[in-house]
Amino acid sequence: MDVRVSDTTHPQKLSVKPGAAPLDCAQDSGACAVIRSILARTTDKWSILIVKSLGRGSHRFSELRRAIDGISQRMLTLTLRNLERDGLVLRTVTPTTPPRVDYELTTLGESLWTLTEAFGQWAMSNRPEIESARARFDARLDADL
């Protein structure tokens, strides 16, 4: 039956192969399980950062690891593999020694990149407003205590 497990990050056996969406539909818009799984992958914390990093050209594994501060090797491997699976990232192995593996955005990945950039822009330009909203909220909370 080959039942494919839930979402990202296979706990054991670092292989990808999700596919069976864990959740049903958001009826309000006809967006179904597949859409959700696509959104889950593309809006994932690390995916966004990786796509962002790859926005300006190809990078090798270790470059990405250094660029995306805080990501673990495991998560980098996993997220890249998932992005590759979804056709967003292209993986190129050059069998030199030491081996060299380059990652770059596909055309599809580039179109996603523009979106994540827009998100990033939005976050940047609305940061003050959001931060003050947070401050207000927290202050009200503390007052109520």
Partner DNA sequence: CTTTCCGGTTCCTGATCGTAACCAGCACCA
Partner DNA sequence: TGGTGCTGGTTACGATCAGGAACCGGAAAG
Binding site for DNA (CB under 7 A): 5-9, 11-14, 22, 45-46, 60-62, 70-75, 77-78, 80-81, 91, 93, 97-101
List Cβ neighbours of 81 (8 Å cut-off, separation of 6 or more). 16
Q: Measure CA of the first residue to CA of the last residue in the chain; give whole Å.
A: 55
The Cα angle at residue 77 between residues 71 and 80, in degrees rounded to 5:
95
Out of 42, 51, 78, 79, point to the residue binding a second copy (CB under 8 A).
Answer: 42
- Short-list 72, 110, 74, 71, CA closest to 90: 110
Q: What distance in Å separates the CA atoms of residue 38 and residue 111, rounded to the nearest whole number?
A: 14
> Among residues 62, 74, 87, 99, which is the contact residue for a second copy, using CB under 8 A?
87
Which pair of structure tokens corresponds to residue 84? Answer: 């590759």
**Residue 119 beta carbon to DNA: minimum distance, rounded to whole angstroms:** 18
Tokens standing for 113?
Answer: 């990149």
Q: Does 29 bind a second copy (CB under 8 A)?
A: yes
Rule CB under 8 A: choose which of 1, 3, 13, 28 binds a second copy: 28
Residues making contact with a second copy (CB under 8 A):
15-17, 19, 23-29, 31, 34-36, 38-40, 42-45, 48-49, 52-53, 56, 67-70, 84-88, 108, 111-112, 115, 118-120, 122-124, 126-127, 129-134, 136-138, 141
